[in-house]
Structure 1
Amino acid sequence: MLNTFQQAHHRALPHASHDEAAREEFTKSFKGFIQSSLLPGLTPIYNEQVKPAFQKEHGREPADRRDIRSAMVKNLYFQHYASANRVAQEILWESVNVSLDRQLPELLETAKQLSASSKARLDIPEDFTPPRYITALDIHCMPGGYASEVAEQDITAGALYDRGVYLYSMGYMGPENDDMGRSVCNYLRRNKPDFKPLRILDMGCTVGHATLPYKEYFPDAEIWGIDVGGPVVRYAHARAAAMGHEVNFAQMNAEETSFPDGHFDLVVSHILLHETSGKAMPRIFNECHRLLSPGGMMIHADLPPFDLMDPFTQFILDNETWYNNEPFWGAMREMDQVDLAKRAGFAAEAIKFDNAPMAVMEFAGGSDGYSEESATEVADREFTAGEYAPGGGWEVLVAEKELAQEMAA
C-alpha cells in the first residue's frame, strides 16, 4: 500500500531524478520544521513580550489581528519565522521547476497523447481572458501563476502545481492530492446518503485534484471541472486520463459560465473563494444558484471564517495575505458568506457552515471515512494556529436550492 505521505506517480506528473527528489523532499521537510518548531515559539513570544509591550504603549490589550500584527512585525523572532516561511515557499517552486524544465518537451507530448485518448471533453476557447485578480500576481508565489502560457498547448503551470501543492501541504493532501474532494464526498455520504447527483461541477478546479473523487463516489455522474487557467485545465484533462477517469474540463470563469440554468445537481469548490475578489464572490454565489437544479446543493470548502477563531489564530493565518501572495485571504474570511448565499437566492434555513474532517486524517487513523464516530473525533479538535487544516477538517459552506414546488409557492 502506498504511504499516505508519498505522492502517487502518474504519467502526466514530472518524474524527479535522485538529486531533484532530494531537493524537493528538503523543501517539504523545511516547511514541516517551520510549522513544528518555529511556529509554536510565536505564542510565548506574543504572550510574554509583544503583548505586554503593546499594553504598556497603548494602555490596552490588542483588539484584533491588525493590532497583533502591528506589534509582532517589530519582533525579531517573528521576522525570522516570516522570512523562513517565504524562503520555503520560493525554494519549493524552484525545486520542482528544475525537474519540470528538464522534462517539459516529453511532458507536453505525453499530455497530448493522454488527452487524445480520453473520451471526456476538453473545452479551451480561443478568446478567453482570465480575470485580472488571477493574472496580476503569482498566487502563492507560484512562478507565472495559473494562466501563463510558455509553450503551445501548454500544461506547465498544471504540472508545477500538481507537484508543488503536494509539497506545500507537506503530504497532507494525500497521495493523489485529493484530500479536499474526498473529505467533501465523505461529508455527503454521512450527511446526505440518499443524494445521488447526476451532474456535478467543480469550480476553480486547477489540476482536477479535488474533482476526481466525485467520479469515484458518483461513477454515473457527468462531471465538469472549470478553471480560468488554460494550462491547468489542459493538465487536469491529461491527468484524469492518466489516472483512469473520464472527466470533462473547460477553461471558464466561475462568475459567469456557459452552462444552462439548472444544469447541475451539485456545485462544489475547494479553496477557490480566497483566490477570488470581493466583487467576484457575490457573482460566483449567484452563478451557483442559477446553475443548480431544484433540490441541488452548493458546497464551498475552505478554511474557517475569522469569527470562529481567536485574534491570534487569525493573525497567524493572515500571514498568507502578507507573505504568500494571497491578497484576498484575509478579506474573504471577513465577508458574510451566509448573507451572500441569501442574496443569491438560497433560503436562510437551507444555509449553514459545517466541518468536513480531513479524509487523510481519518485514513491514517484507520477509518473508512464514513463513520460518524470518526468524523466527530476529528471535527472536535481545537483550531491550532498555523496548522495545515485547522481543527483537522475543512470548513464547508453548504446551501440547498429549494425544490420546484417550494419555489413556485
Structure 2
Amino acid sequence: MEKPTKSFFKLSATIDCPVCKQSIVVYDLPKSEYIVCDSCFSYLNIIDEHTSRLNKQLTKPEKTPILKLGSTANIQDTDFKLIAYLEKREAGTIYHWREYILTSLDKGYITISEFDGHWNLIGGKDFIVDFKEPISHGTTVGYKDVEYTLFNKYTPMVTAMLGEVDWDVVNEKVKATEYIAPPYMVVAENIDNAKDYYIAEYLEPETIAEIFGIDKNLLPERIGIGANQPSKYYDRWTSSLQMTGIAIVLVLLIHLLLGLLKPEKELLNNDFLISHNNTQDVNEFKSFITPSFAVEDESSNISFEIASAVDNNWLETTIVLVNENDNRTWEVSKGIEYYHGYEEGESWSEGSTKESILLSEIPKGKYHLNVYPSSGDINRNNLYIKATSNVTMWRNTLITIFLLCIYPAICWYIMRNFEKRRWNNSDYSPFVNEE
C-alpha cells in the first residue's frame, strides 16, 4: 500500500483564472485558500475546486524563484512540498527579501527565507517537536534556557507572489520582531493583537543546495553578515580561550613544580662597611672581598640585591662573581640613586635606595664576590649585599603567559569586529555607544 506521504505529494489539480482564463496548477487544493495566477499575477481567493475570484492584482515578481514551485525536500526527516514564493519588503525602507513556503502532510508549514544570500529555515510549534513558548523580557526573550537579543522590528509587506497558501498572506497586517542568538533567531509576529512565535535557524548555502538537489552556484552570493549568521570567529575565540587557559594552568604548575624541585637558597646576606679610597678618584671606595659561598645545583640563577642609605646622592658598585675552582668570573654593575625635596608646595622624590641584579646559568661550585663601590658621598659607610640562588623567575612566566594570550586576543578582536558589522544592520546595536 502506498504511503500517505507519497500520495500527498502526488496530489495536484488545476483551476481557471477568472481574469485571464489560464489554467493554474494547485498543489494542495484541499487546504489552499489563496493562489496567484502565474500568467497575469492576479491574487485569487479559492472558493471551491472549480471557482475562484479576484482579491487583488499583484505585479510580476522581480526575480525568478531559485527554488521551483512543486519541488520536494526532506527537512529534518519530514517530506515537504514547495507551494509558494513571496517577495517582501520592510515598510518604509529599501530592504527586501524572498520567502519560500513549504507544506507537509502532518508538520504544517515552514518557511525558507533568503535575504542578501543568507538563508533561514523558519518553523513554528507544528514543525518543532519540543517547541516551548518563548518568554519575553523586554529587549530579550528566553527560549530553551538561551537568551535572544532584540535585533529588529519591522512591518513586512508582500510585493509579489507565486503559488498558494491557506491564509490571506498578502493582506494580513503583521508587526514582526526578531531576536537573535546565532545561529538561531526567535521571530515574534503580532497579528490583530495575537502573537505567534517562530524559530529560525541559519542555513549555509551548501545545505540549501543539498536539500533541494540544485547547483550551489545558482544561489545568490552572500552580501554582508546575516542577522543570525554563525561566527566562525566566535568558535575560534572560545576554542583558543579554552586552550590558552589550559596552557596557562600548565605553565603555572611547571613554575610551581620547579620552585619545589629547586627552592630558593640564601647564599650571602651582609651589610658591609665601606670607606673612601683617598689614593684613588674622588668617588672611588676601597674594594673588598665577600666571604665564600657554595652553589650546589648544577646550574642556577643568582639574584644580587644591593642597598645603601643614599640621601640626595648616588652609589654605584661593580660586582665580580669569582669561581674559586677555575677562576671563571661574571661581572655586573649597578647604580643606586635617591633624590627628594620640596618644591612649589609639594614633596617629590625619585629613585630608590636599593636595586637588584640577576645572573643566569651559574654552574655548581664555590664562589666569592669582588666588590668595587663608588659614590658621590665620600662619607657613605655601608653597602648591603644579599645573594640568593634559584630565584623564582616570575618575569619569564608572565612573559610566557602574555605571549599565550596574544592569539586569543587577536581572535577576540576579529570576532568583535564581526559582531559590530552584524549589528550595523540593527537599530538596537550594543556597540552604538562605542562609535
TM-score interval for Structure 1 and Structure 2 normalised by the shorter chain: under 0.3
Structure number with higher strand proportion? 2
Q: Which protein has the larger Cα radius of gyration, Structure 1 or Structure 2?
A: 2
Q: What TM-score do the two structures reach when normalised by structure 1?
A: 0.23
Q: What TM-score do the two structures reach when normalised by structure 2?
A: 0.22
Structure of greater relative contact order (alpha carbons < 8 Å, 6+ residues apart) = 1
Structure number with higher helix proportion? 1
